[in-house]
Each structure stands twice: as C-alpha cells, then as structure tokens.
Amino acid sequence: MKEKELLCNAPIGVFDSGVGGLTVAREIMRQLPNERIVYFGDTARVPYGNKSKETVTRFSRQIVRFLQMQDVKAIVVACNTASAYALDELEQEVDIPIIGVVKPGAKTAIEATHNGKIGVIATQATIGSGIYKRYIEENDMSVSVVEKACPLFVPLVEEGLWEDPVTDEIARRYLSELIDIDIDTLILGCTHYPLIRSTVGKIMGDKVTLVNPAYETARELKELLEKEDLESDKRPELGTELYRFFVSDAAEKFQKFANSIIPYGILSAKTINIEEF
C-alpha cells in the first residue's frame, strides 16, 4: 500500500526546448490540481525547430533520463518538435507512460473543423516531418491540411515580444497565405505559440478557431493516469514542493518568464548540466 501511495504521489515530468512547454504545464496544473510536476526547459539549446531529428532525439533522451532520475511516474513531451521527431523512439525505450502533444492537437482540430480545411503552424522540423498532416488525413480522409513553418516565432516568444509591432509584422507575412485559402481551424502546432495567440487570432479573424493542443493533452494525461491507476488523489500539503523547475541555462530569466505565465508562485528554477545525462 505504501509503495502504491509513493508511486501515485510521484511527479509528472514535463519538458520542452524552453518556455513553450509552460503552456502545457499550466493546463496540467489546471486540470490535474493534485499532481506534482517536474518541468525541464532546455534553455541552453533552444530552438529545437531548426535542428535535425538525430539531435532532437539525443536531447530528448538526455532529458528523459534526467526526469527519470527525479522519479517521475509519467512524462509529457510538451514540445511538438520533440513529439514529431523523438516520441516513437522514446515510447520504445521507457517503461513509464509517455505522451506528446501532436496527436491531442490533431484530434481537437478534426473535431473543431466544419469546412474540412485545417491549417497548421509550427516549427520547420514539425512541418518538415509532416506529422500533423499525416495524422489528420489518416483519421479523417475528408479533411485537407495546409501547413506553414513559422521559424521566427520561437525566438520572438523567448525574447518576450508577445505583443509587439515586430511580431505583428512577421505574423502577417507568415499567415497571409493561410488567410487566402479559407481554413476554419488553425492548430498552434508549437507550444510557444499560445503565448502569441492574440496576435495570431487578430490576423486570422474570428471565423478561424485556434487550437491549442495543451487542453487535450492534459485531458489525455488525466485519462492515462486513471487507466494506469496512477493518479494522485490528494493535493500535496502546503509547503511541499508541488512544482519544480529545471533549465539548462539562464535560470533567472526563465523564472521571471514562468512567473508571468503560471498563475501560482514559482519557487525557483535551477540550472543543471543536461549534457551529463
């Protein structure tokens, strides 16, 4: 009994290349308030979106090893790029439940579209992998998918330029070709993008539903924990470390950032050398 309790009280590991995965962590905190979280942001090596599959897979493996050393009971790959490039391998390699963000995002978009035209914006890597298009078309042949890589969005978000004329101008250029083709649903296929949701929404107009995969990811995590009988049934007591944050560089900057995204006081973020894992 004690062992089972220990396991259920273990944290969920969540990772991303930087701050983007906080949009997923925030949703997990909202939907699963009893769960502890260990978050890792690979701030020394962000962005992932312009790197090769081999490199992103190597980085993801190191992070998974680090998270497993924190005794996590499940892992959420809160990064579309890592989900696209590394999730299949990671699933084979780890013996705890692990989920990504792409399938939940694709599923939500299929449910949301009325005219069968879905747009996807994401990193070059995610778009190049074709994973969203493949997954959506495999699940609903009547839907057509148009994809657009937006490589400058991640650095703009990491620099905190969420509402800025520069971001506005770049978003207009990227999104103009999606406006012309009458999509009614747009997947924010990078976990950094919900932070510039208002800019994207303003340009796309109210007829386009913006899909943030975080909501469905947290819902699927909940279902998975229930199925595996792994949910924590009580909220940890005050004073215990409910959420812990680790980064590979610039912890202070990350901490400030996290505090502006997460509606709970972040205790602190700690820098670790991820290359050691």
Q: How far apart are CA 260 and CA 127, in angstroms?
A: 29
Q: Is 77 an interacting residue with respect to ligand DGL (CB under 6 A)?
A: no
Which DSSP string corresponds to 16-49? ESSSTTHHHHHHHHHH-TT--EEEEE-TTT---T
Q: Is 60 an interacting residue with respect to ligand DGL (CB under 6 A)?
A: no
Nearest CA to 158 among 80, 48, 269, 14?
48
Task: Tell me the backbone φ, ψ of residue 90, rounded to 5 degrees.
Answer: -60, -40
Q: Which of 48, 59, 66, 85 binds ligand DGL (CB under 6 A)?
A: 48
Per-position x/- string for 5-34, each x denoting binding to ligand DGL as judged by CB under 6 A, each - no binding: -----------xx--x--------------
Q: Which is nearer to ligand DGL, 46 or 143 (CB)?
A: 46
Q: How far apart are CA 248 and CA 251, in angstroms?
A: 8
Q: Which residues are catalytic?
A: 79, 190
Q: Which of 11, 13, 47, 100 binds ligand DGL (CB under 6 A)?
A: 47
Q: Is 232 an interacting residue with respect to ligand DGL (CB under 6 A)?
A: no
- Give me the sheet containing 209-211, strands edge to edge: 144-149, 117-122, 185-188, 209-211
Q: How far is the CB of 218 from ligand DGL (least distance, A)?
A: 15
Q: Is 161 an interacting residue with respect to ligand DGL (CB under 6 A)?
A: no
Q: How many residues in the shown chain lie near ligand DGL by CB under 6 A?
A: 16
The answer to whether residues 12 and 38 touch, using CB atoms and an 8 Å cutoff, is yes
Q: Is 62 an interacting residue with respect to ligand DGL (CB under 6 A)?
A: no
Q: List residues binding ligand DGL (CB under 6 A).
A: 16-17, 20, 46-49, 79-81, 123, 126, 154, 190-192
